[in-house]
Amino acid sequence: MDLIDDPTPGGNAPEFTVSELSGAVKRVVEGEFGYVRVKGEVGRVVRARSGHLYFDLKDDRSVLACTTWKGQVAGLSVIPEEGMEVVAYGKLTTFASQSKYQMNATEVAVAGVGALMAMLEKRRTALAAEGLFAPERKRALPFLPEIIGVVTSPQGAVIRDILHRLRDRFPRKVLVWPVAVQGKACAPDVARAIAGFNAMTPGGALPRPDLIIVARGGGSIEDLWGFNEEEVVRAAAASEIPLISAVGHETDTTLIDHAADRRAPTPTAAAEMAVPVRLELMAAVDGLGGRLRRAVSESVRGRRQRLTDLGRALPRPEVVLGGAQQRLDQWAERLPAALRTAVLKKRGALGEASAGLRPGAVRAGIAQRRERAERLGARLGPELARGAARARERLAARAERLRPALVTERTARAGERVASLAARLEAAQSGQGEARARKLESLSRLLGSLGYEETLKRGFAVVREGDEVVTSAARAKAAVGPLEIQFADGRMVPGGGAVKKKASPKAPPPEQGDLF
């Protein structure tokens, strides 16, 4: 090589492969920056299916790509959301395959109280819209819980304050569920504790509390942040057991306060809400017991008084019974004498009645009646036989008169009568027929002699014009049509007219009709 040759531009620069260069850049970037804190607004956020989280941090001019690997996501204080102002902490590195530099963020925190409050408000509104804070979801606290579940740190002033105040008022069984009250473990711990108390069965090996207190002492908004987490709020809202929240001081409000059934300003106040004061209750029960006794003895006393009063008003028994007693005495005195008199009277009457009553009299009466009965009895047999004989005789007499000839005779007589009547009927029938035939014959003969046609046989004729009979010369002269002459053997028209034979005249001449 010629050392004096014009050097090619860049000819003395070392030559890298792309990967070598990328590796060199990566070393420089990681070595130069290492771990950094970056403040910015969260841009696009992508939660990949793999579980890794990709998001951008930006300000008005630049964008920084950030990644949080799946295993690191749980360690973030807040999951970045678009528009959130955050401070991210992590290691600056490169992504060689796309010629990019980026930050592996291992912690993301909300930047500044203002941004935190804005986020809190947004979350509160969203949860309120779901109805988690609705007043109708609130349950009444039990008047005297048996077991109180306390969700808090087992160390520190909070649990001590609660237990002291409970002991002062009304010692109870307390189950403490230890939780982290700040930091990343806080929210999942508290949510699990609330759900865990609810999952216990009443009277089980782990007895289920009938009241839950979630307590924490005061702190910064960041310290109390766990009680703003959605999972805690949801657990508190879902709790079947009434829940008192006592988180922070009176001025600190966290979202669990909205979801709790009651909010206590301090842990001590929560204990006061949880139980009544035992001594007060004892006094109240004693008072009621005294009133109970007084009331019942008063009621008995009042009744006794009334009984005495009424008893006084009751009349003395002698007064009520005196009159009746006197009357009884009077009548009782007269009773033996009256009895004696009555016996004497009855005895006299008995003597009189029994005087006429002797056995002989009765016997005589009986004998008399028996005699009569015997007499009548003796007549009974012959009388019966006689009656029967008489009846038999009468029957025989009647039977004799009863003969068949009587009946046949009568029948024969009736038959003869029927025959004679039949003969007469026959005769009458035929006789009448003959007489009528004779009469008809004579009448027909009379009709023949009277009819004009018989006259025709004797040389007379009938002259007609049409159907009209002409009886005068004048009428014949006046005739218009041909004249017809009827003889005994037929009809003809003089002057050669055809003979018109008629079987019989349609109507007999009126003059002759009159003859009938």
Partner 1 sequence: MNDKPVAEMSFEEAIRELENVVGRLEGGDVPLEDSIALYQRGSELRTRCDTLLKQAEEKVAKITTDGEGTPTGTQQLDVD
88, 105, 108, 166: which one binds partner 1 (CB under 8 A): 166
Contact (CB, 8 A) for 245 and 256: yes
Is residue 182 near partner 1 by the rule CB under 8 A?
no
Supply the minimum distance, in Å, between the C-beta of residue 167 and partner 1.
Answer: 6
Which residue has 């109280």 as its token pair? 113
Range list of β-strands (E), 398-480: 462-465, 468-470
109, 119, 163, 244: which one binds partner 1 (CB under 8 A): 163
Query: Starting at the edge strand that comes first in sequence, how are the strands of the sheet with 468-470 ordered?
Result: 468-470, 462-465, 483-487, 490-492
302, 322, 490, 497: which one binds partner 1 (CB under 8 A): 302
Rounded to a whole number of angstroms, the distance between the first and last alpha carbons of the chain is 196
For residue 395, how many other CB atoms are within 10 A of its CB? Answer: 10
Q: What are the φ/ψ torsions at residue 508 (nearest 5 degrees)?
A: -65, 150
**How far is CA 403 from each of CA 62, 338, 399, 400, 406, rounded to the nearest angstrom?**
167, 93, 8, 7, 6
Kindly indicate which of the ranges 90-98, 164-172, 265-273, 393-401 contains the residues binding partner 1, using the contact rule CB under 8 A. 164-172
Is residue 144 near partner 1 by the rule CB under 8 A?
yes
Q: What one-character-per-residue DSSP string does 12-59 give?
A: TSPP--HHHHHHHHHHHHHHHH-EEEEEEEEEEEEE-TTS-EEEEEE-
Axis crossing angle, helix 157-169 with helix 267-274, rounded to the nearest 10: 30
172, 208, 234, 258: which one binds partner 1 (CB under 8 A): 172
Is residue 176 near partner 1 by the rule CB under 8 A?
yes
**How far is CA 43 from each of CA 59, 64, 123, rounded to the nearest angstrom?**
9, 9, 19
Is residue 143 near partner 1 by the rule CB under 8 A?
yes
CA 312 to CA 48: how far, in whole Å? Answer: 102
Q: Report how far Cα 364 is from the mean position of its chain's Cα atoms.
A: 97
Is residue 246 near partner 1 by the rule CB under 8 A?
no
Q: What character string, x for contact with partner 1 (CB under 8 A) and - otherwise, covers 314-353? A: ----------------------------------------
Q: What character string, x for contact with partner 1 (CB under 8 A) and - otherwise, covers 349-388? A: ----------------------------------------
CA 46 to CA 374: how far, in whole Å? Answer: 150
Kindly indicate which of the ranges 222-230, 280-288, 326-334, 439-447 contains the residues binding partner 1, using the contact rule CB under 8 A. 280-288
Supply the minimum distance, in Å, between the C-beta of residue 258 and partner 1.
Answer: 25
Q: What character string, x for contact with partner 1 (CB under 8 A) and - otherwise, covers 187-216? A: -xx--xx--x---x-----x----------
Kindly indicate which of the ranges 186-194, 233-241, 251-259, 375-383 contains the residues binding partner 1, using the contact rule CB under 8 A. 186-194
Is residue 421 near partner 1 by the rule CB under 8 A?
no
CA 15 to CA 62: how far, in whole Å? Answer: 31
- Could you tell me which residues come within 8 angstroms of residue 339 by beta carbon, excluding any fewer than 6 positions away? none
Is residue 282 near partner 1 by the rule CB under 8 A?
yes
Is residue 471 near partner 1 by the rule CB under 8 A?
no
Kindly indicate which of the ranges 32-40, 174-182, 223-231, 369-377 contains the residues binding partner 1, using the contact rule CB under 8 A. 174-182
Count of chain residues binding partner 1 (CB under 8 A): 42
Return the structure tokens found at 163: 């237990």
51, 171, 466, 494: which one binds partner 1 (CB under 8 A): 171
Is residue 281 near partner 1 by the rule CB under 8 A?
yes
Is residue 278 near partner 1 by the rule CB under 8 A?
yes
Is residue 299 near partner 1 by the rule CB under 8 A?
yes
Residues near partner 1 (CB under 8 A): 142-144, 154, 159-160, 163, 166-167, 170-178, 188-189, 192-193, 196, 200, 206, 278, 281-282, 284-285, 288-289, 291-293, 295-296, 298-300, 302-303
